[in-house]
Amino acid sequence: MWKHILAWFPLIFIAIANGLFREKFLASYLNELRAHQMSTASMILLFGVYVWILFKIWPPMSANQAILIGLIWLFLTVIFEFLFGHYVAGHSWDKLLNDYNILQGRVWVLALIWIFIAPYIIYQIQK
pLDDT digits (tens, 9 = 90+) for 32-52: 999 999 999 999 999 999 999
- For the chain, the first-to-last Cα distance in angstroms comes to 18
What residue spans define the domains of the chain?
A: 2-126
pLDDT computed for residue 111 by the predictor: 96
- pLDDT of 127 above 90: no
pTM of the model: 0.91
Question: Does residue 40 contact residue 113 with C-beta atoms inside 8 Å?
Answer: no
- pLDDT of 99 above 90: no
pLDDT computed for residue 89 by the predictor: 86
Concatenated DSSP letters of 100-116: T-GGGT--HHHHHHHHH
State the chain's mean pLDDT as an integer: 95
- pLDDT of 1 above 90: no
- pLDDT of 108 above 90: yes
pLDDT computed for residue 45 by the predictor: 98
Question: Does residue 67 contact residue 120 with C-beta atoms inside 8 Å?
Answer: yes
Instruction: State the average pLDDT over residues 20-32.
Output: 95
Instruction: State the average pLDDT over residues 20-29.
Output: 94
